[in-house]
Structure 1
Amino acid sequence: MTVRHQHAAHKLVRRSAAVVLAAGTVLGAAGAATAAPAAPAHHRPHHQTSYKVDSAQLARGLYQSSYSERNHVLWATTAVGRPPVTQSQLLKVDPKSLKTKAAYTPPVTDASTKAVEAVYGVAVDDAHNTVWTTNTRNDSVAVYSQRTGKHLATVPGVKHAREIVVDERHNTAWASGFGDGSIVGFDTRTFKEKKRVTVKGAGTTGLAVNKWTGTVYATDLTNSNIIAVSRFSDQPKLIPTGQGPISIALSRDGRTAYTADNKGGTLSVVDLLKGKVTRTVKTGEGALSVAADPRSGNVFVANRGPGNTTVVDPHKGAVVATLATGPNPNHVTVARGTAFVVDKAAAGDKLLDSVHRISAER
């Protein structure tokens, strides 16, 4: 997320500062579609999947999105400008039309400046019909009702809260605190903090959780590690990965991790049991966000520099498609075999960012 900064290398800090701050073109008006370029028929394997990209301008200041299976809704966060941030919304988006169904403004935190509790990272909890956000500039996380959009709670104490992920099976929401290298767990029923693990000198950013075991994995952007935290231990395990990992996803069986390596411009495929990188795939400069598709097994990587999203077959270690998803793609999520990418294109007269829906065509 241009976030959504003190990295080990100062050069990386300058290049990625906006990315880490909080938690990412317009191809046309709402509903405009662009098909992914296809290889000549005689060069294509019979099983190769092609993709269609539908894009729509959505709002200013897009950061992340999360899909609700329960409500068939794409939730997205927006925040505009530097402190005091007065423009921020939690958007309820129709995944078919790519239009906003409802928009909810976070609570005001300072009446004199009209600053609000700006939202950046986002994750859905369908088990409790809520949506969680990270409020990066307020060092907190918040909870909203999916049904009404009502703000239910704000929980402080996550320094430079960046991302959040929900483990529905174990009633836990995990947030990454980039400011102090923390990984903080909250009870999704009571909204109270239940676990905190801090790795000194780490810059925790992306998060993924194994839904079977409850183990949470965080990328350490500063030290190029994955930090693994078990439900049963407060001692984190460090696993090396690619250069400057900023986002992480897991395979369907939870045995493999995929990291988007912001400094390396790569996707790293990591065997979590062996604790080592098994494949490295070049995706694009400033790889920023990664999501895995449990249906196909493919992995989507949003690449900030070239303004595209790469589809990777991790088993072959090969790029199977490179799709135009607007300038400055900021975040990618996958639901029901469909990927959604939000960008920070700031295009048109209203300087709107866009959402892109990537669908497989067989």
Structure 2
Amino acid sequence: MSSVTRQNHRVRRTAAVAVALASGSVLALAGTASAHTGHALGHASTVVSAPLAKGLYQSAYSERNHVLWATTAVGRPPVSSSSLLKVDPRTLAVKQTITPPVTDAATGAVEAVYGVAVDDEHDTVWTTNTRNNSVAVYSQRTGKHLATLPNVAHAREVVVDERHDLAWASGFGDGTVVAFDTRTLKEKKRVTVAGSAPTGLAVNERTGTVYAADLNGDRLIAVSPWAKDPSFIPAGDGPISVALSADGRTAYAADQASGALSVVDLREKAVTESVPTGAGALSVAADARTGRVLVVNRTAANVTVVDPRKGAVVETLATGANPNHVTVDHGTAYVVDKSGAGPEGQDQAYRIRIGH
């Protein structure tokens, strides 16, 4: 592929993702899954699903409160239907529905929420308000909206480093990675990489370094709280989501364009393995308990379980249409979709006990 063709391909890919984020056409799952392929497991994964709400985007698990937080947003601007959901992780039943603040009384538009992360140290939950170019902070205890922090262009994802009291957000719209102090809720650091498109984020709480998947550059952008300039690490074709191994030495990138998982040695700054997972790889999470890496494949409508030591898929769990996001906690994964397959058109949530 020529450099001009490759550049055009990346521009088209970035535009397509921007449209997907803006239109609400981002991932979904359907039906409970039990089928698996690949290497035999000692114990196969088990999947339970339930209809949750319309317009699901992402979820995050709170160990402190034993709660799954999920975001929803429906429609194009002005978005008047959006909520932050407090979900029982065992039953997948909604315990509380929190409506974001109204931004335009005339239209009923709200500060719609999309990305989500929890800060159990300060008992808060952070959201990205993509259409409002901001992030917001809510109380986990009461659901109260505590603050809106502006100037994160097309804010896509947020991740919390509890050890260093920082919340990092990716600004897909202008190539920025921004850090906020989780105590004062003030901006702490801002790094802009011209021409980049930061999407997914993962943070190493031992070193404080955050890694952003650069959809435009087929690389990871590594930002330290103490370094002036970022560093760059190669990834696969179209990285859109990133996770880290338990020891922080390896990154896993979901490569949307190639439908694969890239295994990246962060010390050597090199891709050591590329594992085909499925068309439209969109979200990735690594489980410290089992060592497995899960990849949500939007187009293929499934979740693949990868053994990174073998560099192979060990299970493929069928889902419904458009699985959108995966998060894990101690051997359990939670996936949300945008299938609209519920009895009242709801999207669905899945709880996966990861096999080993």
Please report the TM-score for the alignment, with normalisation by the length of structure 2.
0.94
Aligned letter for 2:126? W
Distance 2:89 2:318 in 1: 19
Residue matched to 2:3: none
Residue matched to 1:3: none
1:35 aligns with 2:34: yes
CA, structure 1 residues 217+278, in 2 after alignment: closer, same or farther (shift >3 Å)? Answer: same
Q: How does 1:36-185 map to 2 (within 5 A)?
A: 36-37=35-36, 45=40, 48-185=42-179
1:254 aligns with 2:248: yes
Residue matched to 1:278: 272
Distance 2:285 2:48 in 1: 18
Distance 1:361 1:299 in 2: 11
For the Cα contact (< 8 Å) 1:38–1:50, is it kept in 2? no
Cα offset, 1:36, TM superposition: 3.4
Cα offset, 1:350, TM superposition: 2.6
CA, structure 1 residues 15+138, in 2 after alignment: closer, same or farther (shift >3 Å)? Answer: closer
Cα offset, 1:18, TM superposition: 4.2
Cα offset, 1:12, TM superposition: 2.0
Distance 1:291 1:333 in 2: 6
* Structure 2 residue ranges without an equivalent (≥5): 1-6
* Secondary structure in 1 matching 2:326: strand
1:313 aligns with 2:314: no
Residue matched to 2:331: 337
Cα offset, 1:321, TM superposition: 0.3
Aligned letter for 2:167? A
CA, structure 1 residues 262+361, in 2 after alignment: closer, same or farther (shift >3 Å)? Answer: closer
Distance 1:250 1:295 in 2: 13
CA, structure 1 residues 305+34, in 2 after alignment: closer, same or farther (shift >3 Å)? Answer: closer
For the Cα contact (< 8 Å) 1:268–1:280, is it kept in 2? yes
CA offsets 1:165-209 (integer angstroms, 9 cap, x no match): 000000000000000100000000111000000000000000000
CA, structure 1 residues 285+144, in 2 after alignment: closer, same or farther (shift >3 Å)? Answer: same
CA, structure 1 residues 218+25, in 2 after alignment: closer, same or farther (shift >3 Å)? Answer: closer
Cα offset, 1:37, TM superposition: 3.8
Distance 2:14 2:345 in 1: 26
Residue matched to 1:327: 321
* Structure 1 residue ranges without an equivalent (≥5): 1-5
- 1:197 paired residue among 191, 194, 198: 191
For the Cα contact (< 8 Å) 1:24–1:332, is it kept in 2? no
* Secondary structure in 1 matching 2:17: helix
CA offsets 1:268-292 (integer angstroms, 9 cap, x no match): 0000010000000000111000000
Q: Structure with the greater relative contact order (CA < 8 A, sep ≥ 6): 1 or 2? A: 2
1:237 aligns with 2:231: yes
Aligned letter for 2:27? G
Identical pairs, percent = 64
CA offsets 1:70-98 (integer angstroms, 9 cap, x no match): 00000000000000000000000000001
Distance 2:29 2:179 in 1: 36
Cα offset, 1:7, TM superposition: 8.4
Aligned letter for 2:17? S
Distance 1:228 1:13 in 2: 20
| Higher deviation after alignment, 339-348 or 310-319 | 339-348
Cα offset, 1:352, TM superposition: 1.0
Distance 1:157 1:12 in 2: 24
Cα offset, 1:264, TM superposition: 0.9
CA, structure 1 residues 317+26, in 2 after alignment: closer, same or farther (shift >3 Å)? Answer: closer
Distance 2:82 2:286 in 1: 28
Distance 2:340 2:8 in 1: 27
* Secondary structure in 2 matching 1:9: helix
Residue matched to 1:16: 17
Size of the alignment, in residue pairs?
348
Distance 1:149 1:67 in 2: 15
Cα offset, 1:16, TM superposition: 3.2
Distance 2:320 2:185 in 1: 36
Cα offset, 1:231, TM superposition: 1.7
* Secondary structure in 1 matching 2:169: strand
* Secondary structure in 1 matching 2:45: strand
Aligned letter for 2:153? K
CA, structure 1 residues 167+26, in 2 after alignment: closer, same or farther (shift >3 Å)? Answer: closer
* Secondary structure in 2 matching 1:280: strand
Aligned letter for 1:12? R
CA, structure 1 residues 315+361, in 2 after alignment: closer, same or farther (shift >3 Å)? Answer: closer
Please report the TM-score for the alignment, with normalisation by the length of structure 1.
0.92
Distance 2:113 2:353 in 1: 28
Distance 1:84 1:75 in 2: 24
CA, structure 1 residues 7+80, in 2 after alignment: closer, same or farther (shift >3 Å)? Answer: farther
Aligned letter for 1:35? S
Cα offset, 1:214, TM superposition: 0.5
Residue matched to 2:290: 296
